[in-house]
Amino acid sequence: MATRTDIHCPSKLQPQDYEFVTVLDIRPDDDPLAAVLMQAECHQVFQRFLQATGAKVSQHTHGGTCHICGTNAVYMVAWHHVPSNEVILIGYDCTEKLFDGYGKELADINGRVVALRKTAAQCRQNLAGKAKCQALLADEGLSRAWHLSTEAANDVNVWKDKNMLRVDALRTICDIVRTIVRKGYLSDRQANYLRKLVEQHDNSEAVQAARDAAEAAKADCPRGRDVVVGTVLSIKATYTAFGMVDKMLVESDTGFRVFGTLPKSLATALEHTIYWDGAGTAKFLEEKPRVQFTATITPSDTDPKFGFYTRPAKSTILD
């Protein structure tokens, strides 16, 4: 290589003429991480700096990626040469030698380089996780789930869909795919659930129409004193003006739902078949029980299929 005469050659370089810009990850184009890390914040900072100052990256002959020693370094430090309005990229080793008097700023640069190395390691791990996830899904015939999650990551417009059934399915698909990428494992339960979610997403109009038809077929909530026969959907401790009271939601065999105070006789009968979580919700150890009771029912003002019951009596658990 010919003897350097440019203003950035080590023998002429004046550290006081340079200002720190950012650290960068410079990789060969055939490295899978190159495209990913070009989206990192440090590269965005670098591009914004060039646009704001009109500075140009120095084109002097220097060999490899380091503008000082010519070695092919990956982690570079960008310095702005104020007098020439040029930017040079220097490997961290050369930065330590040339700018050793910068003290605290040099320590900050080192911290940024360490953080960038960690980012690169995490990106490489993510790429490996994505490749494994894609293969696992393909083996289960679930490549559609991978396609949907990738589309959602690259196009924000998919979340503007007014079909909430489709959006909810997509959100859960993305959550499961991210879990598989992170853990590198696809369980049978996840695979089966993903199949249902993909079907729900792709056939959301038909699924919603079926749900609407099923909802319309349910009986309206009655009014007055009546007998309720149905399944307990949930039991939850609720704060009222009278203190904490256990409330019960029941879906009748004809489809309407009612909500009210859990009768003491049912609470006693169920005490060995439920346990309470930290949120005050009862969890059933067995199948949800079927019950029968008589109560005074008042339909909701906003939902004809839902109501509230009071004064429950003759409560019993059905076999």
Domain boundaries, the chain: 15-120, 140-213, 219-318
Residue written as tokens 């060969």?
A: 28
Cβ proximity of 161 and 182 under 8 Å = no
CA-based torsion, 99, 104, 109, 111: positive or negative: positive
Pick the CATH number of 219-318 from 2.40.50.140, 3.30.70.100, 3.40.720.10, 3.40.50.300: 2.40.50.140
Give pLDDT tens digits along the chain (319 positions): 567 778 888 888 888 899 999 888 877 666 666 666 666 778 888 899 999 999 999 887 767 888 888 888 888 899 999 999 999 999 888 888 888 777 777 888 888 888 888 877 777 777 788 889 999 999 999 999 999 999 888 888 888 888 888 899 999 999 999 999 888 889 999 999 999 999 989 988 888 888 888 888 899 999 999 999 999 999 998 888 878 899 999 999 999 999 999 999 999 988 888 888 878 888 888 888 999 999 999 999 999 999 999 999 999 999 7
CA 117 – CA 123 distance, rounded (Å): 10
Cα gap 189→274, rounded to integer Å:
25
Provide the 10 A C-beta neighbour count for residue 89: 22
- Report residue 141 as tokens: 């015939």
User: What is the secondary structure of 74-111 as a DSSP string?
Assistant: SEEEEEEETTTTEEEEEEHHHHHHHTGGGTHHHHHHHH
Report pLDDT digits (tens) over 21-74.
988 887 766 666 666 666 677 888 889 999 999 999 988 776 788 888 888 888
Task: Identify the CA nearest to 88 among candidates 111, 62, 54, 110.
Answer: 62
